[in-house]
Chain A
């Protein structure tokens, strides 16, 4: 559960990132024409919606699914734009708009560019909301990466799971820890080579759920190499850019860190090859070589999926023990049997997963109370 203070602090940091707000203000001023209609995906406090109004927007549909959305209307009202901004609570992909928009704006840019799902949100908004010839802010988003050598950081995030804690073995978590998208803030001394671009997405055109790219590096610092620092370059408008490309960072963003399971020894001049791909910023895979040593990791394995989770929407769900017990109980509630009779019949049924007659009676009581009349 996300604590409220975390939400408040998070948005305070975003608003305090003046470069972020100023660059979006410039892009909005250059794009939003007087009388324009705008969709603001993931509007947060509504700051970009307000800037769109100032640029002359006739109507802004400000969409927010997160808890900050409770206060967005108040912020809009405090600025006198309630008559022009419609705050819609929900995720943009599940909302409908009464009219087409001229501009889609979204600051759902994550520390690793795509990890807040911007590609999917914008692609959906482009298809359903955007009028022909409409504009998107940001226009392009690129993922950059640089090899990292920092064994202390690697130990704090991954190696630490090898250590016993008061005698307890927690090592099964090490492989899981290596298969996460970690966040960190990198300084030049941690990088073994200058960052290079891997993936560039044209947000006005891409339909791909899986985006990928590759890069090669020649090490300028001795290893061991412990993973890759990743960050973004965003083109918000013509000549208007925002970046947390490592090692530089916008104040609000950290960097992503895709680690190796073990530090890989390497010398100055060694080659590093990497392929990185992501499905809408939620699942990541990174593989390649450091010198002659191969690595191949992904965050899907790090989630330890069950069969049901893997099947997702394509699965054909079946009832588990609790579901079978509930279904059998509902079938016995026919308006003729008493609760005691239902409980007795259920206890004798092969479909019950309940451990005792008393538990069966309590279960039937609760279900009859909740669902019966």
Chain B
């Protein structure tokens, strides 16, 4: 078994394009541009952070309350999982 550190899919590559973070889906040949909060969530996942840890980063970085941050993380994880860009079991930890 590979290390569960890799929460993101192998075919999901992060690139910086003109200063903005973009996920390129090598399987589908599509890309997903990330806004500020989405970029924080994605980079957290790439670094192996848990959804709860990422939500705390959002609280610190964007001055939002914890409930809103948890909700944002869960919503974006659901988007990523629907696109096959993260392991679906991550959703369990983000509910």
- Residues of A participating in the B interface, judged by any CB pair closer than 8 Å: 208-210, 212, 214, 273, 275, 277, 279, 283, 285, 287-289, 294, 296, 298, 300-301, 305-307, 310-312, 314
7 cross-chain CB contacts under 8 A: A210-B27, A285-B10, A285-B11, A288-B3, A301-B13, A305-B15, A306-B17
The interface-forming segment of B18-26, B36-44, B56-64, B71-79 is B18-26
CA distance A310 to B25 in the complex (A): 11
- Specify which chain B residues have a CB less than 8 angstroms from the CB of A283 in the assembled complex: 13, 26
The total of chain B residues at the interface (CB under 8 A) is 20
B11 and A212 contact, CB distance less than 8 A: yes
Given contacts A212-B10, A273-B2, A294-B5, contact A310 B15 (CB under 8 A): yes
- Specify which chain B residues have a CB less than 8 angstroms from the CB of A208 in the assembled complex: 27
- Residues of B participating in the A interface, judged by any CB pair closer than 8 Å: 2-3, 5-6, 10-11, 13-18, 22, 24, 26-27, 29-31, 46
Of A273, A275, A298, A311, the contact of B13 (CB 8 Å cutoff): A298
- Specify which chain B residues have a CB less than 8 angstroms from the CB of A273 in the assembled complex: 2-3
CA distance A273 to B10 in the complex (A): 14
Given contacts A277-B26, A306-B17, contact A288 B2 (CB under 8 A): yes
Q: How far, in Å, is A313 (CB) from chain B's closest CB? A: 8
- Specify which chain A residues have a CB less than 8 angstroms from the CB of B13 in the assembled complex: 283, 285, 298, 300-301
B18 and A307 contact, CB distance less than 8 A: yes
Of A214, A288, A307, the contact of B17 (CB 8 Å cutoff): A307
- Specify which chain A residues have a CB less than 8 angstroms from the CB of B16 in the assembled complex: 301
